[in-house]
Amino acid sequence: MTKTFSTIWQYTVKQDYISEFQRVYASDGDWVKLFRQAKGFILTDLHQDINYPNQFISVDNWRSKKDYESFKKLFATEYQELDKKCEKFTESEEHLGEFFSL
- For residue 102, the model assigns a pLDDT of 87
How far is it, in rounded angstroms, from Cα 49 to Cα 1?
32
What domains does the chain contain, in order, with CATH numbers? Answer: 5-100 (3.30.70.100)
- For residue 2, the model assigns a pLDDT of 74
- What is the chain's pLDDT, residue by residue, as a tens digit (102 residues)? 678 999 999 999 999 999 999 999 999 999 999 999 999 999 999 999 999 999 999 999 999 999 999 999 999 999 999 999 999 999 999 999 999 998
- Strands of the 90-100 sheet, one edge to the other: 41-48, 55-62, 5-13, 90-100
